[in-house]
Structure 1
Amino acid sequence: MLNALEVVTTVVVGLMVGVEFSVAFVINPILNGLPDDSLVAARAHGGRMLGAVMPFWYIGSLVLAAVWAVMGRHHHGTGLVVTAGALLLVSVVMSILLLVPINNQGKTWTAENRPADWREQANRWDRYHYVRVAVIVAAFTLLVTALV
């Protein structure tokens, strides 16, 4: 049972890392090449779509890591899993405090109603997102290390 939990947790977190890495280093750079009106529409749509899914994914990943840490507390690598869980918790807190407020505004923007500082807000979200990606990559690396 623990082995299955370890694999499921690692896969779930790994997929989340892949999506978030792709957003940071593939999708957003592509979108940034669009004209402003299209860029605003695309980021708003992405914010709505991923904003609906990612809370469950982030919290689910944290819960899976916590369950792994508890169930495997007497096994090798538990300290790595606990540290990964702490990093996943940091990513959840960062999301709630820094990224979600910007995303909640941005997902309602259109070409007609976007604020004058929309680009600065989008750039701030991107900077926070780069940090969050680094945090979840570190958590994923620790989980993989604990798994092997």
Structure 2
Amino acid sequence: MLNALEVVTTVVVGVMVGVEFAVAFVMNPILNALPEDSRQLGHAHGGRMLGAVMPVWYIGSLVLVAIWAAVGWHHGTGLVVTAGALLILSVVMSILLLVPINNRNKTWTPENRPEDWKEQTQRWLRWHYVRLAVIGAAFALLATALV
């Protein structure tokens, strides 16, 4: 049972890291290459779509890691606990730094967007890179704990 939990948790976190990597290094460059109105509409749509899915994924990943740490406590779970702490940090970062920008961004249209919409989008992306590094490190710790 513990082995299955370890594998499922590692895969769930790994796929989440992959999605966030794709957002940073695939989707954003594609959107940023579009004309301004299309670019902004694409970012708003992405914010609505991923903004609905990612909170469940982040919290679900954290719950899986917590269960792994609790169930496997007697097997030594230092790496898992550290990965959990990093996932907590990523959730806190999301709530305090990324979600407020995303909540504004997802309501913008070409008619109502603020003058600094590009700067706000770039600020979100900079914080996203930091969060990606944090969850990437958590995934690496989980993969190491798995082997």
**TM over 0.5: same fold?**
yes
Task: Count the aligned residue pairs.
Answer: 147
Q: CA RMSD in A?
A: 0.5
Which residue does the alignment assign to 2:65? 65
Matching of residue 142 in structure 1 with residue 141 in structure 2: yes
Which residue does the alignment assign to 1:40? 40
Task: State the TM-score, normalizing by the size of structure 2.
Answer: 0.99
Deviation at 1:74, TM superposition (A): 1.0
1:111 counterpart SS class: coil
Uncovered stretches (5+) of structure 1, i.e. residues with no partner: none
1:63 and 1:90 map into 2 onto residues whose CA distance is 14
The aligned runs of 1:49-64 (5 Å cut-off) are: 49-64=49-64
1:63 and 1:36 map into 2 onto residues whose CA distance is 39
1:91 and 1:8 map into 2 onto residues whose CA distance is 20
Deviation at 1:138, TM superposition (A): 0.1
Which residue does the alignment assign to 2:6? 6
Deviation per residue, 1:102-125 (Å, 9 max, x gap): 000000111111000100100000
Deviation per residue, 1:18-48 (Å, 9 max, x gap): 0000000111011100111000100000000
Structure 1 runs of 4+ with >4 Å offset: none
Uncovered stretches (5+) of structure 2, i.e. residues with no partner: none
Task: State the TM-score, normalizing by the size of structure 1.
Answer: 0.98
